[in-house]
Amino acid sequence: MDHIFCCTSTLNILSLLVLLLTTRGVSGATFTFVNRCDYTVWPGILANAGSPRLDSTGFELPKDSSRSFQAPTGWSGRFWGRTNCNFDGSGSGSCLTGDCGSGQVECNGLGAAPPATLAEFTLGSGGQDFYDVSLVDGYNLPMIVEGTGGSGACDSTGCVSDLNQQCPLELRVGDGSACKSACEAFRSPEYCCIGEYGTPASCRPSVYSEMFKSACPRSYSYAYDDATSTFTCTGADYTLTFCPSSPR
């Protein structure tokens, strides 16, 4: 009798493991941040309204290091990298690019000050995840997103090019640490896709957004750049790599 109970229990455990493995995507996704830059990056994390905070909202990521977080199904939010940061022993300080204005390493519910390269995610509740890399708020460093273990297209996306090297003078920040979007630089409805330019038909690519698109064809270059910039995958985990073309 004990032998039968033992075998039955083993079968139940095996069945449970199979169930967990086949429904991995339903439980959410693991986000892994990798820094291949030759300098430290301080990633920021902002959950959208209605989504729970992850284990951190901002942290230090030295070069050649990585860190992972688990996000629940249905979670949505954005990630970015802060550069040229100066924080003291208590975690107080600020960053030259991508700063979230919290005065701390943790962003505590605050988003990135433009210009900043953004990765945006919405995890499906048992269905497709939607993700993109956006330059609509400008650019501060190269970043790509790659999905693993999922089903569907699951294409990688992002911006490998260093746009700071080719940024027009009128969009350049300081000594070239970041590149503004035309909306941020000129604040005009035509570039910001607002007012009479607030529809896909009326807001068209500009010479500036076309420059971004040419360098980073899979990234959002302006507000209505949806067709070639939004990607889907089901049940994947995601790796966000800063400076992906840098030597390992």
Residues near 18 by beta carbon (within 8 Å), at least 6 away in sequence: none
Q: Does residue 11 belong to any structural domain of this protein?
A: no
Q: What is the pLDDT of residues 227-248, one digit of tens each?
A: 899 999 999 999 999 999 854 4
247: in domain: no
More confident residue, 5 or 160: 160
**Cα torsion 147, 151, 155, 157: sign:** negative
Confidence band, pLDDT 50/70/90 cuts, at residue 46 = very high
15 located within any domain: no
For residue 197, being part of any structural domain is answered with yes
pLDDT for residue 245: 84
Give CA–CA dist 91/103, Å, rounded: 8
SS3 content of the chain, % helix, strand, coil (to 5): 20, 30, 45
Residue 246: its pLDDT value, please?
A: 56
Count: domains in the chain: 1
Residue 194 inside a domain? The answer is yes
Does residue 10 form part of some domain? Answer: no
CATH number of residue 163's parent domain: 2.60.110.10
User: Containing domain of residue 206, as a range?
Assistant: 27-242
Residue 9, domain member (yes or no): no
Q: Above 60 in pLDDT, residue 31?
A: yes
Structure confidence by residue, pLDDT tens digits, 182-200: 999 999 999 999 999 999 9
Tokens of 9: 């229990």
| Residue 169 is assigned to a structural domain of this protein | yes
